[in-house]
Amino acid sequence: MILGIGTDLANIERIARTLERFGDRFRNRVFTEVEQQKAEARADTPGTYAKRWAAKEACSKALGTGLRMGIAWKDMAVSNLATGQPVMEVTGWAADRLAQMTPPGHVAIIHVTLTDDHPWAQAFVVIEAREIAQGAARTGHGAG
């Protein structure tokens, strides 16, 4: 079942100007170390930050809160699988909110997709609840 859907569109040039103006103050407030390392290693550094900014906004919307109610930017972090597929990890208040949304007997899975076409970066997040299989509940292994 779908628990939440969120999308966001970010202007890459606006993020580039913010990076120029505020530098590490902006990076350290919004992005985890892993996100910063990924962005700084890319040729399109502002585009990489913009996609992750959009993903955090989209995730906060999928959580049903937006960026209010105690959620922090760093409570949501985008990393990549070895295949390059982006994944969203939540901690802190975002993880607490996700747990509140997830029905008993289910596990929450956050799907995220990112794209950009200069000057725009877009993210789409879907939070899914999958029922935990009976055998998996006894062995401690969940679905997915």
Q: Could you read off the pLDDT of 21-56 as tens digits, one per residue?
A: 999 999 999 999 999 999 999 999 999 999 999 999
pLDDT (0 to 100) of residue 142: 40
Residue 126: pLDDT over 60: yes
Residue 18 DSSP code: H
CB-based contact 59:94 (threshold 8 Å): yes
Find all residues with CB under 8 Å of 117, minimum gap 6, and list them: none
Is position 44 annotated in a ligand binding site?
Answer: no
Residue 116: pLDDT over 50: yes
> What mean pLDDT is predicted for residues 86-103?
96
* pTM attached to this predicted model: 0.88
pLDDT (0 to 100) of residue 140: 43
> What mean pLDDT is predicted for residues 123-130?
98
Nearest to 60 by CA among 47, 35, 77, 48: 77
Mean pLDDT, the chain, as a whole number? 91
pLDDT (0 to 100) of residue 17: 98
> Which comes out higher in pLDDT, residue 45 or 134?
45
CB-based contact 91:108 (threshold 8 Å): no
pLDDT (0 to 100) of residue 135: 57
Whole-number Å distance between alpha carbons of 59 and 78: 10
Percent of the chain with pLDDT over 70: 90
Domains detected in the chain: 2-139 (3.90.470.20)
> Residue 138, class by beta-carbon neighbours within 10 Å (0-12 exposed, 13-18 middle, 19+ buried)?
exposed
Is position 128 annotated in a ligand binding site?
Answer: no
